[in-house]
Amino acid sequence: MKKTITTVIIIIAALALIGFILTKNKTENEEKIAIVAEKNASVSVKVATVKTEEVSLDFVANGTFEAKQELIFTAEKSGKVISVLAKEGDRVSVGQTLAIMRGDAININAQAAQAAYLNAKTDYSRFENAYKTGGVTKQQLDQSKVMMINAEASYKQAKINIGDTRIKAPISGFINKKFIEPGSMLTAMPSTNLFEIVNTNTLKLTVAVNESQVAKLKTGNTISVTSSVYPDQTFSGKITFIAAKADATLNFPIEIEIANNTNNDLKAGMYGTATFKSAQQQQNLTVIPRTAFVGSVNSNQVFVVENGIAKMKKVTGGRIFGDLVEVINGLSDGETVVTTGQINLQDGSTVEVIK
């Protein structure tokens, strides 16, 4: 009996010990989970310090070169191409013959129109002499004159039609694309594409600037332009257009006209950079990285980190200088702004600053 009681006591004690150990482990696990959860609740961000520094007031803007003149021209007459005199890459001048259409029927029509005109001209001369002697009436003379004028008009049109068999370049430039070959059948309705000509003697570079930058620009200003393909060459450009209205990004399109060099090194479609010089070279400004703004500079919102908490602040952004943006008000030197990770933040979020 005693042995049975002792065994029961031992079992109860063992169960109690096991229960205690399990309870202690559960508490420790919950504490660990709470620590991990608290850590996971923090958003990892990168930051920068607001500071006043000397900033160059020059700024740059990027865009793509476009040909000032480019044209895909089409057939004005229907017919068959018998000869193509230009190929892709050729440099052509305005008025130069690029292709020739078959003109047998047109030439015959022109000969008939010429004969009709000469005949009408002879008839009018005869009627004019006869009128002086009273052989014909004034009405008959006038009718003869009308017939001569109409015949002359038909003959001139026929000569124009002969000229239209020679397809000529409407502008000077380079043949960028050729759409026809000998034997091609051309139609006027709908018109057949013939050639694409691009004139790269003069190009234009379209860039976008913000409101603070556009206020200092005028048409006629001389601008230095470089190309990513020719970084060691500088081209001189002139502002020819400043948009009166901002685009959807609240920037203002600017067009700069550039004279190409003698080798026509610049090509339409190349990437270009315009450098806008300022009369005042440098100035002390309060600046923050461009990436500090939530969404874009136009949002005028940034997150400031205070004691591990992200707080959204409304600021007034000014001029943009490359990767830096002027802060007119809303921030003070020494404050810390978030530059990476804003997409995961809300006002009041806990943050963990990473290097």
Pair type for strands 351-353 and 43-49: parallel
83 and 154 belong to one structural domain: yes
**pLDDT grade for 8, boundaries at 50, 70 and 90:** low
> Where a domain ends, among 174, 193, 212?
193
Q: Give the mean pLDDT of 308-336.
A: 88
Indicate if 220 and 320 belong to the same structural domain: no
How many domains are contained in the chain?
3
CATH of the domain at 104: 1.10.287.470
Asked whether residue 110 is domain-assigned, the answer is yes
In a domain, 28, yes or no: no
Give φ, ψ of 228 to 5 degrees. -65, -25
For 65-112, what is each residue's pLDDT tens digit? 999 899 999 988 888 899 999 999 999 999 999 999 886 656 667 778
* 107-134: average pLDDT: 83
User: Are 100 and 183 part of one and the same domain?
Assistant: yes
- How much is the pLDDT for 22? 62
Q: Compute the distance between CA of residue 2 and CA of residue 97 in angstroms, rounded to an integer.
A: 127
Tell me, yes or no, whether 258 and 303 share the same domain. Answer: no
Looking at the fold, whether 217 and 157 belong to one and the same domain comes out as no
Range of the domain at 314: 44-56+283-353
Q: Token pair of 254, please?
A: 């600017």
pLDDT at 157: 78
Q: 255, 276, 297 — which closes off a domain?
A: 276
pTM of the full structure: 0.57
Asked if residues 46 and 339 have their Cβ atoms less than 8 Å apart, the reply is yes
Q: Spell out the residues 6+ positions from residue 220 whose beta carbon is closer than 8 angstroms to its own.
A: 238, 239
Mean pLDDT calculated for residue range 119-147: 87
Question: How many CA atoms does the CB half-sphere of 110 hold within 13 Å?
Answer: 15
Residue 250 lies in a domain: yes
Q: What is the pLDDT of residues 265-309, one digit of tens each?
A: 899 999 999 998 876 667 888 999 989 999 877 788 999 999 999
> Domain holding 270: CATH number?
2.40.30.170
Structural domain includes residue 1 = no
Q: At residue 307, what are phi and psi to the nearest 5 degrees?
A: 55, 45
Domain boundary at 227, 244, 276, which?
A: 276
Higher pLDDT, 158 or 31: 158
**Whether residue 207 is found in the same domain as residue 185:** no
Statement to judge: residues 95 and 160 lie in one domain:
yes
